[in-house]
Structure 1
Amino acid sequence: MVIPTLNAASMIADLLKALEDQTLKPDEIIVVDSSSNDQTQDIVCKHPDVKLIAIDRKDFNHGGTRDMALRESKGDFVLFLTQDAMPANAQYIANIMRPFDDEHVALVYGRQLPRDDARAAERLVRSYTYRAQSLHITKEDIPDLGIRAFRATDVCAAYRRTAYLEVGGFENPVLTNEDMFIAARFLNAGWTVVYEADACVVHSHNFTFRQQYKRNYIQGVEIEKHQDILDDAPLTGEGLSMVTYTLKGLARQGHILEAGRFIIDCGFRFVGNRKGTMDARRELKHAGKSE
């Protein structure tokens, strides 16, 4: 089990306790802390069976840091959680490991349930993205699923080590979506990716408009740079489907003001994504001319 942390003092103790109380306990827990300036490292050190790796904050990136931690681990299967993803029950690890009984499965990711304080729109977005039905995905499903075939999340995921090493692991550096890109490589290499709806964590965000813009800008940059492994799958259709689902849900629930806020939120998402996409295209074009 690998958990990257940064200033996680308010949540890391509860998370470690939840992992230690699982019916299927992790053989090891590795916390990679990016030089927190709160009590995160002190709290982790109170758990003698947890390995703490401290890195400089400037050295963290989503792909490289996780790759380093995976290679420091010893198990045949390596699980990832973020510091703010709390297992919904004591069966989380058992449930996310179950699909690996199929030797063709390389990656399993779980279901994210909203926190109690999640906005109404965020709750609907979670229910759209992380549904109650599990899904086994192979290369043959890519034409039908499009970008959804590559949807995976290291918020709560598990990897088969041999498959991970076979496809070269996470990129280093990569700003975001390292999970999506390795899922694409798994599928293209003939492996199976599983969404396991019974493996649940509680995880959601109430992002500000500025945070949504920044998040979607970075995603736009990285997804544009990786269109070759994503089979040029368009994002637009999936995004419109999510927006329609959420607005209809808000209307049914009578959240008219929230629907208006969500429309503005989607505008920031769209503009951020488009700006990131265009900047990445200019960078790639410039790099091509320089070669």
Structure 2
Amino acid sequence: MAGYKDTFQNRFLCNQKGWGTIIRTYVRNMMKKLDLNSIKISLIIPTLNAAEYMPGLIDILGRQNRKPDEIIVIDSESEDATVRMAEQAGFRTLKVKRSEFDHGGTRNYAVAMSKGDIVMFLSQDALPSDEHYVENMLRGFENEDVVMISARQLPRKDAKPDEVLVRKFNYPAESFVRSEADIPKLGIKAYFFSDVCSAYRRDFFEDIGGFESPLLTNEDMLMAARALRAGYKIGYCATAQVYHSHNYTFKQQYKRNFDVAVFMETYKDEIKCDGTTGEGIRMVIFIEKKLLKQFKIGAAVHCIFDSAAKFLGNRAGRKWKRKNA
């Protein structure tokens, strides 16, 4: 796996040393020639003990109007029937050691082993909402300047009231495209992107150097930042939708935001914009107003404690990184 990671990194270093303009011009010219009706699509799903999700994924992916040319499950030593179910469904399976899983490097390995002109990623617990998911994602690439697209995430039926509103705040019903020019206006939101449900032009992915590796979290956000800084555009497709949400405990929220804060502090020179605190406050105010208007007092109280766990995790993560830099 390291060999594939090195290949992507070497390309990125080459671009940084002066060849980038020439290569990007060539890549963009090639991208404009893509025929979205005939290109190959690879769909990559990282898995770990995903047997409970596999039946739903197998069913909806098999009913897509525009089927992927290959579906690759890259598994981290699952102890359940994940791999067997994937193989029975006709998916291609790759395996990595759980101890070597890396959000950036593992995905780089899967891309290197794939053949698609468009590479899509889907989390094991993200379920496309209908048969049009793949074709709707593809339509986003009709804009020839767009090189990466993320889909809309809808709450699952068991989502807590505040989590439902988090999804509404972060994933609007309108599609849009962002460029570097939008960073001053959007701040941290300009880099908002999720590999829970995403798609990339392969030529761009290889040109930019693939994902950073090793990386604990947010490989998608860092890729978005690098794409924008390199002059590319990234898209959000609201018509391509998946059901995906989490009912995290306060402890899980603390840990998750600790990790994100370490990431943000590590790559603060690349993700230059207003901090995450202001956006977080806006989201909390939005959620509290909605919950109180609906007289969901318990949910409003839960949101306050949940937000406190996020804030404390974020602050602790930044302090830890600064201390150990």
Give the TM-score, by structure 2 length: 0.86
Instruction: Report the CA distance between 1:104 and its aligned residue.
Output: 1.1
Instruction: Report the CA distance between 1:37 and its aligned residue.
Output: 0.7
Q: Does 1:46 align with 2:88?
A: yes
Deviations 1:115-150 (A, max 9, x none): 000000000010000001111000100000000000
Partner of 2:242: 201
- Runs (4 or more) in structure 1 with deviation over 3 Å come to none
1:140 to 181, 189, 197: 181
* Paired residue type of 1:21: R
Q: Where do 1:16-165 residues align within 5 Å?
A: 16-48=58-90, 50-165=91-206
Q: Are the counterparts in 2 of residues 2 and 69 from structure 1 also a CA contact under 8 Å?
A: yes
Could you list the runs of 5+ residues in structure 2 that have no partner in the other structure?
Answer: 1-42
Classify the secondary structure of the residue corresponding to 1:193. strand
Q: Does 1:168 align with 2:239?
A: no
Q: Are the counterparts in 2 of residues 13 and 44 from structure 1 also a CA contact under 8 Å?
A: no
Q: Are the counterparts in 1 of residues 183 and 273 from structure 2 also a CA contact under 8 Å?
A: no
Distance 2:96 2:271 in 1: 31
Q: Which moved more, 1:226-235 or 1:62-71?
A: 226-235
Paired residues, number: 283
Q: Are the counterparts in 2 of residues 137 and 194 from structure 1 also a CA contact under 8 Å?
A: yes
Q: Does 1:249 align with 2:290?
A: yes
Q: Does 1:192 align with 2:208?
A: no
Deviations 1:41-90 (A, max 9, x none): 11112123x11011111111111111111111111110000000000010
* Paired residue type of 1:140: A
* Paired residue type of 2:169: Y
Partner of 2:221: 180
Instruction: Report the CA distance between 1:232 and its aligned residue.
Output: 4.0
Q: Are the counterparts in 2 of residues 227 and 233 from structure 1 also a CA contact under 8 Å?
A: no
Classify the secondary structure of the residue corresponding to 1:37. coil
* Paired residue type of 1:63: G
Partner of 1:15: 57
1:215 to 256, 260, 263: 256
* Paired residue type of 1:31: V
* Paired residue type of 1:44: A
Distance 2:192 2:284 in 1: 17
CA RMSD of aligned residues (A): 0.8
Distance 2:272 2:141 in 1: 26
* Paired residue type of 2:95: A
Instruction: Report the CA distance between 1:283 and its aligned residue.
Output: 2.0
